Structure formats: C-alpha cells, structure tokens
C-alpha cells in the first residue's frame, strides 16, 4: 500500500487507541488490543510510539498476569498532553489555542505584532507563545494529532495574483509562505493544515450553533469582502485555493473598478470602505464604522438606503450561491453586521426572492456568532474534522450521542468563546 | 462506539482484506492477518462473513502447517463475485452495470419501460434485469460492497415542491419513492446510495478524463436545465437535495415565467425548448434538435444569435458558480452541446470575463464526455467513492500509482463506455 493510505490507517489506529483509553480509563495492552480489534504486534507498535511521544503514560502494573510471564503494564492518557492546536495569524496578532483529546481547550494566548512584521518573525513569535503556554499551563505537545493554522489571504497563494497587495485601508497583505506549515510540522512532528482564516471562520460558524450544520455559506464584510464555504461537512478550498471568494462576483459590469482588476465586484459596493464612500457621495460624511453604526441606529435615510443597497447586492450573490449549494445556513460576518442589523434583514429578503418559491429549503440567514478574533477556534475545528474517524462531521453527531460525553463534544471547543 | 463508526470500521477492514487478496492472490488467514495488521479473532470474523456471502472462496489447503495443528486453508477472491452495482432509472429505461473488486465492468444491460410506469414496477423490472445478468454473465451478488442508484429529479424529493411535475416536453416527472433504496438494500444486503442522475453524471465526468478532477461544475441542457457539483472529490447534495440546481438561478428578474414559479430562470432561456421557442420568435421555425443542429452548422444568423445568448446567460451563471467554488473544470452536457459547439465556446468566453483577471485559475470548459445514457457509470462511480478507503478520490491517485494495477483503476469503469 502507498504511504498515503498507510499513514491514514496508522492515524486511524492511533486515534482508536486514544479513544478507547479516553472512554475506558487505564487498560493493559491486551485489553486495548481486544477492544480495538488489532493484533498484538500492531498494537505494540502504536502504544510504543504513543508512549515515546508522551501521549500516554504507564500508570501501574496490574497484579494479575496475562498470557506471558511478565506482569501487564496498564496504560492511560496523559492529562497534560495537548492533542490539537489552533493558530490564527491575523494582520497584527497571533492567537494560539490547544485542546485535549476530548476537544476541551487546555490553554490559549495571543501575541501582538506590527502589520509589517515578516512571516519568519511571526512564525517565531507564535512558537515562543506556544512555549509560554507550556510553562504557564503545564501542557506538552508530544502527541499532537494535528495543527490548524489560519492565515490572511488565499493559501497557497495562487499564481498570477498580485502579491503583496494593499487593502483599501492601506494594510499591506503578504501571502503566507509555504514555510509556515513546515516550521510547525517539524517542531511538533504532527500533520498541519493551513488555510485562509476567513474560510476557517466559516467552519467555526458551522459548528458553533446549537446544532452544527454540514452546508454553510459564510461572507465577511470588512476592508474587503471575503468568504468561505462548508459543503457536506468539509471546508472547500477549490482547485487553486480561491473557493468562497464571493467578494469578487460581478454585481454590476459597468460599476466601479475593483482592486482585482475587474469592474463592479460585490466588494466595490459591500465592503466597509465602499459603504462609507457611498454615504459621503449621498451627502452623509461618516468617519468610520462607529459613525455608520450611529447613523444606522438613528435610521438615517442615506445610511439606511446605502446599507440596503449593499445588502441587496450581497443578497443576490448569496442567492446564486444558495441555488448552487443549497446550504442550511448563510452567515454574514464582520463587525459592521453586528452594528447594522439591517444588513442581515435585507440579505434574507433579497435571497428569499431568488429561491424556489415552493421549496421549504430557504437557508437560515444570520449574523456571525464568533468574532473576527476567533480564527484560532476555526483552525482547531479544521483539525478536529480532519481527524480520520471524525472526518465529515455529520457522522460525529452519532459519536457525540453515543459517547454521552456531555461537554466533551466536538462543539465543546467552539462554545468556549462565543 | 456507536453503530455508524462500528460499521465504517468494519467495512474498512473488509475492504482491506479484499484488497490484500486482490494484490497478493490466495493466502492463508495467518498471512492475511499479518499483512492487514488485524488480530486473528477480528480477521476470522471478517473472513467468515466474506465466505458466507460468497465474496471469497477456499481455493486449497496449504501443505505447510502454521502454528496450530490444522492445515491452513488458503482464501482467494471469487472471480464471479460482483462487488459494485450501478443502476440508472431514466424516464423510459433502466440501465444496470456491475463491477468487480478491481472496478472492471463484469456485465451490463438495460430494460425499457413506458414513462408512465410506476416506481414499484420500475424497481421490479430492474431487479429482474439484475437476475438476467446473473444467468447471462454468471455473476453473483453475495458480496456487493455498495449499490449506486440514479433517479430523475431531486432525491429525496424536497417538501413543498409540486410533485408530480410535467416537464416542458410533456413528460410527467414523479419523484422516486424512498422505497427504491430499501428494495435494493434488502435484496442484496448492501449499502445503497440514491441520488439524482444528473448529479451522478457530474461525478462520472469528474473521473472520466485522463486525469480525474476533484472540483467540477456540471450543467446539462435538455428539456430543462439540471446540474451537479463535485467539491473536494465528493458529490454535493446540499441541505435538502437541491444543490446544483443551476437551471433555476435568476438571469432576468423581468423574464418569462418558469415552471418553478419564478421568472427569468436560466432554464427559461437555455433549455432546449426555450432555445427552439426563441428561434421561432425570431422567424426561424425549427421542429427539433436535429433542425437546430443543421441551422447551427450552417451558422444561420438567428440560430447563432439565440444559441450565443442562451450560452451567455449560462456562462454568467456558471461564472458566479466558478467564483464561488473555484472548480478545475466546467462540463456542459446534453445532446445539444454536442450538436452546437458554439455553446461551449460562448460559455468559456462569458465565464472568462467574470474571473479574477490576474489569476491563472480559469477552469477548463468542455462538452460532456459521457452521453446522457451513461448514468449507471455515474452511479457506479458514486459507490466506488463511498468505499471507505477510496473516499475523497484524489487520494486514490496514490493508490492507483502505488498498486501499479494498470487497467484495474478507478477510472477503469468510466473508460468502458465513453
């Protein structure tokens, strides 16, 4: 068998051993082998590797002897062993969260940096932050099952796009280098998933409600307009890392030039700078998002009209995406969405008109539950879902129900900081 | 562990045993256990079940003895044992294909029926056809790993849609009853996947090229306009079975009424009846698709203009779907696409204008490779890809390369009837 399948089978076995120990407490190798259905040889390899990495510990030696003449050691999970790590590189800070085998968050922290800080230095700061968590919270990383890393911008950076780019507010956006994954993979000897952090936010939203949804369209309005898709429980990347770029769907072929080179993209009418500019144009000079929130709260006619037009364009784009993907939920993120509830209202109304009139299949439209600062939760969610037995999380509804583990669920982590 | 995960683990083990026998030929239980890394107990349960179902046979008893005093039996795949079945229920006929463990097609056949035939009778006709294949080709079904069934219309039929529906050409479309899956599952004791056959065609197209693609948008122009999406190697269903219904994206809010209840859906300008009606309107009375093909071949100005306008609308809808999903390939199906190459040309041109101008991420746009009659291949493809170790087929590129099995690849089946 080729290495890809080999590694998958190996990780599946490891995860089943860890799960058996989580559910049953300390056990001898013989007991584990029987529960998991593996041969003694295969099981010994796996426990050997888990012991060496510090995921499990020998807790005692059972008095009763099994089979051979040697007393049987009993093995158990190491409670200080972090199993999953989520890292979110923002423009100006990195967040790290680590979770245990039951998906509970064990420790978290953040380090700020300047938005011109090069990637190599950001990576070093993040690794230092992880070490600090070791000292402060007493966790160790010998058995990490996976690391999720969120970065701004498409990842890997598609060829042919102009990098670095300047956002409308003047931030210089540099693509994350391929090296960010290698640095973490080498340091922790664990598989690493890197993805755009807006896309990871989509995954976090999909599992953050009372019931997780398998199909979700997420759009975030900020300096630009970004988005992410969850389809069948999986985060969608697309063939070249551009899936979910709803901000650059054309809404008016004769509209304003967009930084992407086209005209009349959704971003030219629905980003925060575009909305503020339109208000100025109609005689309402607003400085920033706070001013806009005040004007919206007073139902100022110009602010109301501009917001409704922006949200109408967004609704048409989301409507086409909804006809395409038939999601259960549409989530609109970005601070502006919290400040101006008219956006979600108008998106829902516009989108409704684009659906099958007779279908009861209209998605729920709502404002994001998690803040823009919650990218590390999304990164963590990504590694949970890439865990072999948990892949395609609708099936984990069974795991949750069956295990009866209360807070020790896949939603556990996402609920920590809603 | 809950039954869902149990069943998955069990099927994964079964499949690894079958694969080991496929790669290595006849082996004793001890040899299989060592290769697959399972305990003797677990392995015995699995071979017992496979023997009982007729997937494997005892070929001989090795002269050399292993461990215990009993001579070791050697087990092998039964070459007459069908492993996968694809069934395609069209409006007027059902197609069945069956494939072996190496994904080679072992037998296929079709039975015609009237388009008013009720589902119960269609199901009975299909099961009779399967029996006929048994007699004619000598295959048996004791070890089917999965059955894929394609049906017209959304499945399961979403609530609130008007069923039965009449298509523009007068065919009465009835939703497939839930019972179609139960009938096959009970008859063959195998997992069944039922899906819309346009959607299954999308999956078949995704694996039918020289290189399979993981992300594909498929649209079929016929009496209506249907579609299907493959995302990350998986067929997309959506939250209520409506994903890929690109025919009902609004292209002109002031346009003609659509049978779905909205106005100006893509289907009202790009379905075959809509294209023929538009030609009449502009003074070119065409009877059917053949007439249209002749007119297109002569580059008749009315036919050319109508086709370009229809394809332009299609291109804008596909363009928005492409910005959303970033597919590697867009495939346009339906007989009309073969007869009027201008459609694919115009879609590619329109779609190109909607993409990031600087990105090298434009999808390939092409006419369907498989005919509308090839739904059973799509149904077969669906079960191959739901096979636990083969799920998410980009990984199977490794399996193929690693196994060096030549024609015994996942594409094998799809290449049989291109």
Q: Chain B residue closest to A394 (CA)?
A: B4
Is the pLDDT reported for residue B203 higher than 60? yes
Find the CB nearest A361 among B158, B321, B360. Answer: B158
- Would you state the pLDDT for residue A63? 60
Structural domain of residue A163, as residue ranges? 84-207+373-415
A216-221 and A329-333 strand pairing: parallel
State how far residue B128 is from chain A, nearest Cα, in angstroms.
35
Handedness of CA B235, B241, B242, B245 (dihedral sign): positive
Find the CB nearest B250 among A1, A19, A354. Answer: A354
Quick check: helix, strand or coil at residue B26?
coil
Q: Are residues A198 and A219 in the same domain?
A: no
Is the pLDDT reported for residue B413 higher than 60? no
Higher pLDDT, A71 or B80: B80
State how far residue B155 is from chain A, nearest Cα, in angstroms.
13
Find the CB nearest B39 among A39, A242, A319. Answer: A39
| d(C-alpha B138, C-alpha A103), whole Å | 52
| d(C-alpha B53, C-alpha B69), whole Å | 27
Q: Are residues B252 and B335 in the same domain?
A: yes
Higher pLDDT, B40 or A387: B40
State how far residue A297 is from chain B, nearest Cα, in angstroms.
32
Q: Chain A residue closest to B162 (CA)?
A: A358
Confidence of residue A308 (pLDDT cuts 50, 70, 90): very high
- Interchain pair B321, A320: CB under 8 A: yes
- Interchain pair B356, A260: CB under 8 A: yes
State how far residue A289 is from chain B, nearest Cα, in angstroms.
28
Asked if A241 is an interface residue toward chain B (Cβ–Cβ < 8 A), one would say yes
Q: A40-53 and A3-24 helices cross at what angle (nearest 10)?
A: 80
Which CA distances in Å does A63 have to A30, A43, A59, A66? 14, 21, 13, 10
| d(C-alpha A246, C-alpha A257), whole Å | 16
Q: Which of B356, B364, B400 to mutate to test the interface with A (most CBs of A within 10 A)?
A: B356
Q: Are residues B149 and B37 in the same domain?
A: no
Looking at beta carbons, which residues of chain A come within 8 Å of B244?
324, 326
- Interchain pair A363, B245: CB under 8 A: no
| d(C-alpha B266, C-alpha B274), whole Å | 10
Spatial CA neighbour of A256 closest among A244, A268, A248, A245: A268
- Interchain pair A5, B399: CB under 8 A: yes
Asked if B354 is an interface residue toward chain A (Cβ–Cβ < 8 A), one would say yes
Q: Are residues B261 and B383 in the same domain?
A: no
Average pLDDT (A73-92) is 89
- Would you state the pLDDT for residue B398? 28
Spatial CA neighbour of B187 closest among B131, B111, B117: B131
pLDDT digits (tens, 9 = 90+) for A11-34: 778 888 888 898 898 999 999 999
Percent of chain B with pLDDT over 90: 38
Averaged pLDDT score across all residues of chain B: 81
Confidence of residue B163 (pLDDT cuts 50, 70, 90): low
pLDDT digits (tens, 9 = 90+) for B350-402: 988 877 765 566 899 999 988 766 778 888 888 877 655 444 333 332 222 22
Q: How many domains does chain B have?
A: 3
- Which residues on neighbouring strands pair with residue B27, listed in sequence order? B75
- Interchain pair B38, A37: CB under 8 A: yes
Asked if A211 is an interface residue toward chain B (Cβ–Cβ < 8 A), one would say no
Q: Are residues B227 and B350 in the same domain?
A: yes
Average pLDDT (A238-248) is 86
- Which residues on neighbouring strands pair with residue B77, listed in sequence order? B56
| d(C-alpha B356, C-alpha A250), whole Å | 10
| d(C-alpha B108, C-alpha B97), whole Å | 4
- Alpha carbon B162 to its chain centroid, in Å, reads 26
Domain boundary among the residues B329, B349, B367 is at B367
- Would you state the pLDDT for residue A219? 96
Q: Is A285 exposed, middle or buried (0-12, 13-18, 19+ CB in 10 A)?
A: exposed
Quick check: helix, strand or coil at residue A6?
helix
- Interchain pair A321, B320: CB under 8 A: yes
Percent of chain A with pLDDT over 70: 80
CATH number for the domain that contains residue A112: 3.30.420.40
Is the pLDDT reported for residue A389 higher than 80? no
Highest mean pLDDT among A196-200, B43-47, B167-171: B43-47
- DSSP state letters, A190-251: S-EEEEEHHHHHHHHHHHHSSS--S-EEEEEESSSEEEEEEETTEE---TTS-TT-GGGSBS
Q: Chain A residue closest to B241 (CA)?
A: A326
| d(C-alpha A270, C-alpha A318), whole Å | 12
Is the pLDDT reported for residue B235 higher than 90? no
State how far residue A110 is from chain B, nearest Cα, in angstroms.
32
- Would you state the pLDDT for residue B302? 95
Q: Which of A245, A359, A364 to mutate to test the interface with B (most CBs of B within 10 A)?
A: A359
Q: Chain A residue closest to B234 (CA)?
A: A232
Q: Is A86 exposed, middle or buried (0-12, 13-18, 19+ CB in 10 A)?
A: buried
Look up residue A312 and give its two tokens. Answer: 């109408």
B225-231 and B234-235 strand pairing: antiparallel
What residues of chain A, 54 to 113, have a C-beta less than 8 Å from chain B?
A: none
Is the pLDDT reported for residue A268 higher than 90? yes
Is the pLDDT reported for residue A241 higher than 60? yes
- Would you state the pLDDT for residue A400? 29
- Would you state the pLDDT for residue A185? 86
Q: Which of A326, A352, A363, A410 to mutate to test the interface with B (most CBs of B within 10 A)?
A: A326
Looking at beta carbons, which residues of chain A come within 8 Å of B246?
323-324
Asked if B245 is an interface residue toward chain A (Cβ–Cβ < 8 A), one would say yes
Q: Chain B residue closest to A20 (CA)?
A: B1
Residues 6+ apart with CB under 8 A from A229: A199, A202, A216, A217, A218, A235, A236, A243, A244, A321, A325, B324, B325
Confidence of residue B417 (pLDDT cuts 50, 70, 90): very low
Residues 6+ apart with CB under 8 A from A336: A221, A222, A272, A275, A289, A292, A293, A343
What residues of chain B, 282 to 341, have a C-beta less than 8 Å from chain A?
A: 317, 319-321, 323-328
- Would you state the pLDDT for residue A171? 57
Domain boundary among the residues A347, A367, A387 is at A367
Q: Are residues A148 and A216 in the same domain?
A: no
- Would you state the pLDDT for residue A300? 94
Is the pLDDT reported for residue B330 higher than 70? yes
Look up residue A88 and give its two tokens. Answer: 């979110």
Residue identified by tokens 């008095």 is A63
Q: Are residues A339 and A264 in the same domain?
A: yes
pLDDT digits (tens, 9 = 90+) for B247-302: 988 898 899 998 888 889 999 999 999 999 999 999 999 999 999 999 999 989 99
Looking at beta carbons, which residues of chain A come within 8 Å of B243?
215, 324-326
CATH number for the domain that contains residue B46: 1.10.10.10
ipTM score above 0.85: no
Q: Chain B residue closest to A265 (CA)?
A: B354
Which CA distances in Å does B76 have to A8, A28, A73, B73, B139? 26, 35, 39, 10, 16
End-to-end alpha-carbon separation of chain B, Å? 43
- Interchain pair B161, A261: CB under 8 A: no
Highest mean pLDDT among A145-154, A270-279, B178-187, B230-239: A270-279
Asked if B364 is an interface residue toward chain A (Cβ–Cβ < 8 A), one would say no
Higher pLDDT, A74 or A91: A74
Q: Are residues B385 and B408 in the same domain?
A: yes
Q: Are residues A222 and A315 in the same domain?
A: yes
Angle (CA) A370-A375-A380 rounded to 5° is 105
Q: Are residues A216 and A169 in the same domain?
A: no
Domain boundary among the residues A22, A49, A77 is at A77
Asked if A7 is an interface residue toward chain B (Cβ–Cβ < 8 A), one would say no
- Among A155-164, A197-206, A247-256, which is the least confidently predicted range? A155-164
Q: Which of B229, B231, B323, B365 to mutate to test the interface with A (most CBs of A within 10 A)?
A: B323
- Would you state the pLDDT for residue A141? 86
Q: Are residues B352 and B393 in the same domain?
A: no
pLDDT digits (tens, 9 = 90+) for B85-111: 999 998 889 999 998 877 788 899 999
Q: Are residues B278 and B227 in the same domain?
A: yes
Is the pLDDT reported for residue B340 higher than 70? yes
pLDDT digits (tens, 9 = 90+) for A201-220: 998 898 877 788 889 999 99
Asked if B254 is an interface residue toward chain A (Cβ–Cβ < 8 A), one would say no
- Interchain pair B161, A229: CB under 8 A: no
Looking at beta carbons, which residues of chain B come within 8 Å of A22?
none
Look up residue A355 and give its two tokens. Answer: 């659906």
Q: Chain A residue closest to B246 (CA)?
A: A324
- Interchain pair B42, A38: CB under 8 A: yes
Confidence of residue A62 (pLDDT cuts 50, 70, 90): low
Averaged pLDDT score across all residues of chain A: 81
């Amino acid at each position: 068998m080729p290495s890809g399948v080999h590694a998958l089978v190996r990780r599946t076995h490891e995860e089943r051993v860890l799960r058996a120990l989580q559910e049953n407490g300390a056990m001898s190798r013989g007991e584990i082998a029987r529960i998991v259905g593996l041969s003694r040889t295969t099981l010994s390899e796996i426990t050997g590797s888990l012991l060496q990495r510090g995921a499990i510990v020998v807790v005692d030696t059972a008095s009763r002897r099994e089979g051979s003449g040697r007393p049987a050691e009993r093995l158990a999970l190491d409670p200080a062993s972090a199993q999953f790590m989520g890292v979110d590189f923002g423009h100006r800070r990195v967040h790290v969260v680590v979770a245990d085998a039951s998906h509970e968050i064990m420790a978290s922290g953040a380090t700020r940096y300047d938005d011109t800080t090069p990637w190599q230095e950001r990576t070093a700061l993040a690794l230092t932050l992880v070490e600090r968590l070791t000292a402060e919270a007493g966790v160790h990383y010998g058995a990490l099952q996976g690391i999720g890393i969120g970065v701004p911008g498409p990842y890997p950076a598609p060829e042919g796009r102009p990098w670095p780019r300047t956002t409308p507010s003047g931030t210089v956006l540099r693509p994350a280098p391929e090296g960010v994954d290698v640095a973490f993979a080498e340091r922790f000897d664990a598989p690493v998933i890197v993805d755009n952090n807006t896309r990871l936010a989509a995954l976090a939203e999909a599992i953050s409600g009372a019931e997780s949804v398998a199909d979700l369209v997420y759009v975030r309005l900020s300096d630009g307009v970004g988005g992410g898709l969850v389809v069948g429980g999986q985060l969608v990347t697309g063939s070249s890392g551009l899936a979910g770029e709803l901000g650059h769907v054309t809404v008016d072929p004769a509209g304003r030039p967009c930084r992407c080179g086209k005209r009349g993209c959704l971003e030219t009418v629905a980003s925060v700078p575009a909305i503020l500019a339109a208000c100025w144009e109609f005689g309402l000079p607003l400085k920033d998002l706070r001013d806009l929130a005040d004007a919206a709260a007073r139902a100022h006619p110009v602010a109301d009209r501009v917001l409704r037009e922006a949200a109408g364009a967004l609704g048409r784009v989301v409507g086409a995406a909804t006809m395409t993907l038939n999601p259960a939920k549409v989530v609109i993120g970005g601070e502006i969405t919290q400040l101006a509830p008219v956006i979600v209202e108008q998106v829902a109304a516009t989108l409704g008109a684009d659906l099958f009139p007779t279908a009861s299949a209209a998605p729920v439209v709502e404002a994001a539950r998690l803040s823009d600062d919650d990218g590390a939760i999304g990164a963590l969610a990504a590694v949970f879902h890439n865990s072999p037995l948990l892949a395609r999380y609708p099936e984990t509804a069974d795991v949750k129900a069956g295990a009866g583990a209360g807070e020790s669920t896949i939603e556990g982590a996402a609920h920590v900081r809603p």
